[in-house]
Amino acid sequence: MINKLKIITYGTFDLLHIGHINLLKRSKTLGHYLMVGLSTDEFNLLKHKSSILSFEDRKTILEAIKYVDFVFQENSWNQKIDDIKKYNADIFVMGDDWQGEFDYLKTECPVKYLPRTSKISTTLYKNKLKNAK
Ligand code: C2G
């Protein structure tokens, strides 16, 4: 039985868009099992982000994506080392807008930053929806 390479990533994933899907799809190709730490509404406040969709809705949407195998709560900035140990993650992945920010995790597992999808973001999405009225 080959080892299931377990990938771990984190995010808010509000108003799901192609940038999120590209990230999740490419993360999954790095291994066999993709775990996503989904920012709670409370943690989003700490990130100075407010999401349109509730945590429960964002979680249900993520769980419906074929690349995603497991979704858990991201409640704070400093749970990643414990999560990597708890879930036996083999590779930590984030979009490269976070380049270098999570290098401290290299003591636990390889850290990969994937190219961010250009010209799309939740903020852009929200503004387009606003202007579409
Ligand atoms: N992303 C991307 N391309 C975009 C937008 C987002 O590749 N156009 C990636 C981000 O780099 C991130 C993931 O999609 O890896 C989720 O993005 P967000 O929901 O914006 O997450 P973020 O607010 O960056 O939260 O502890 C880490 C934080 O929870 C990350």
Q: Is the CB of 19 under 6 A from ligand 1?
A: yes
Q: Which range among 13-17, 116-120, 128-132 shows the weakest confidence by mean pLDDT?
A: 128-132
Domains and CATH numbers, the chain: 6-131 (3.40.50.620)
Kindly list the catalytic residues.
47, 49
The DSSP secondary structure of 103-129, one letter per residue, reads GGGGGTS-EEEEPPPTT--HHHHHHHH
Rounded CA separation 130/120 (Å): 15
Q: How far is the CA of 10 from the centre of ligand 1 (A)?
A: 7
Instruction: Tell me if the pTM is above 0.85.
Output: yes
Rounded CA separation 123/102 (Å): 23
Dihedral (C-alpha) 70, 38, 60, 67: value to the nearest 10 degrees? -50
> Residues 88-101: pLDDT tens digits?
999 999 999 999 99
Ligand 1 atom with the shortest distance to the CA of 95: 11
Ligand 1 atom with the shortest distance to the CA of 120: 8
> Residues 16-51: pLDDT tens digits?
999 999 999 999 999 999 999 999 999 999 999 999
Q: How far is the CA of 79 from the centre of ligand 1 (A)?
A: 17
